[in-house]
Amino acid sequence: MGASGFLHLDYIEGMKWKKPSTSRSRPKWWTSDHWATPVDVLQELARQFGPFDLDPCATRKTAKAPLFFTRRDDGLRQHWRGKVFVNPPYSDPAPWLKKAIEETSSGSAELVAVLLPSDVSTGWFHELVKDRAEIHFWRGRIRFIGWKGTPIDRPRNGNIVAVYRSL
């Protein structure tokens, strides 16, 4: 944690972090898939659902649970157990939603809370969330942690949390 209370990303997916430029433009490799979940968001989710045991979609610096998997570990190929928090790549959340359904249906995971963009026009929402998960709408817009380790300026969309529970 930095002095500001926010996580500072000193590497992303094994890349060495370079001193940020003074320009406001972001690096070409930086997309919303790299945005980190703010600590206060996780605290609120933990208050509602209990502490999380696993974050299968993390980096060493952004992990939100004691056990976590990085891109190299490939959280989609690992077994999930206990209470799981997932902030998936927003460019393609479907594989992570399918995995949440699989792991809760088999009873391996007790609960999976997936933080998602609030976009009911997508196929993944209708096929994997709408009739399969509890849907919790997040009030306001989450200011995810950006490439400089500070909150992004203007989030475009709101968020939902899709909660899958074991049967």
Beta bridge partners of 112: 84, 164
pLDDT of the residue at 28: 64
Q: Please give the structure tokens belonging to residue 98.
A: 């399918």
57 neighbors 88 (Cβ within 8 angstroms): yes
- Single-letter code of the amino acid located at 82: G
Task: Quote the CA–CA distance of 61 and 51 in Å, as a whole number.
Answer: 18
Sign of the CA dihedral 122, 126, 128, 129?
Answer: positive
Please say if the pLDDT value at position 15 is more than 70: no
Tell me the backbone φ, ψ of residue 160, rounded to 5 degrees: -125, 160
Counting residues of the chain whose pLDDT is more than 70, the rounded percentage is 80
Answer yes or no: is pLDDT of 86 > 90. yes
Residue 21 has pLDDT above 90, yes or no: no
Which residues, at least 6 apart from 58, have a Cβ–Cβ distance to it below 8 Å? 64, 65, 68, 69, 70, 75
Encode pLDDT of 97-126 as tens digits: 999 999 999 999 999 999 999 999 999 999
Please compute the mean of the pLDDT values over residues 140-156 and round it to a whole number: 79
The pLDDT tens digits of the residues spanning 30-85 come to: 556 667 899 999 999 999 999 999 999 998 888 999 999 999 999 999 999 999 99
Position 160, amino acid: I
Closest by alpha carbon to 145, among 15, 39, 23?
A: 39
Domains and CATH numbers, the chain: 11-165 (3.40.50)
